[in-house]
């Protein structure tokens, strides 16, 4: 199992554990997700950028449908080069990705940065 698949599995488990139709992550669960997201992406965008990105995504989806947790995995998949057309992201997600790349550009390997910016360009999301 690839690390991103394991992360998607964790997200699905948390989604199923939500008691209502609104996402309500407690601090411990949110911290766990931030740590796992960061563990996946530290080698790509750096730990602080990964933590900030995950925190912002969780903040944006808190109180909405629990299924939106999958966005966290989709964004991780993008940064890991495992994104495909079946993974759903909206304009806010693409904006978060682009801003993260811009903010962390000095920390990211130039080849990785070029590849990720190329992917943004290929999906028509580079502004």
Sorted by where each begins, the domain ranges of the chain are 3-122
Q: What pLDDT does 84 receive?
A: 78
| Encoded tokens for 5 | 């698949």
Q: What pLDDT does 126 receive?
A: 76
Q: What pLDDT does 60 receive?
A: 95
pLDDT in tens, 2-52: 889 999 999 999 999 988 889 999 999 999 999 999 999 999 999 999 999
**Full-model pTM:** 0.91
Give the list of residues 6+ apart from residue 17 with CB closer than 8 angstroms, or none: none
pLDDT in tens, 50-103: 999 999 999 999 999 999 999 999 999 999 988 877 778 999 999 999 999 999
Stated length of the chain: 127
Q: What pLDDT does 127 receive?
A: 67
Q: Give the CA angle between residues 2, 58, 121 to the nearest 5°.
A: 65
Q: 30: part of which helix (H) or strand (E)?
A: helix 27-45
| Encoded tokens for 39 | 């563990």
Cα dihedral sign, 75-77-79-84: negative
SS3 label, residue 54: helix
Q: Roughly what angle, to the nearest 10 degrees, separates helices 91-103 and 70-79?
A: 40
CA 69/CA 32 separation, integer angstroms: 13
């Amino acid at each position: 199992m690839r690390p991103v698949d394991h992360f998607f599995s964790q997200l699905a488990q948390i989604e199923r554990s939500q008691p209502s139709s609104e996402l309500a992550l407690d601090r411990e669960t949110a911290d766990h997700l931030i740590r796992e997201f960061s563990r996946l992406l530290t080698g790509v965008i750096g730990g602080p950028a990964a933590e900030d990105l995950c925190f912002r995504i969780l903040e944006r989806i808190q109180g909405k449908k629990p299924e939106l947790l999958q966005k966290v995995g989709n964004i991780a998949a993008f940064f890991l080069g495992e994104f495909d057309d079946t993974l759903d992201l909206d304009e806010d997600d693409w904006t978060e990705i682009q801003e993260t790349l811009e903010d962390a550009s000095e920390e990211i390997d130039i080849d990785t940065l070029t590849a990720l910016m190329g992917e943004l360009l290929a999906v028509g999301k580079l502004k």
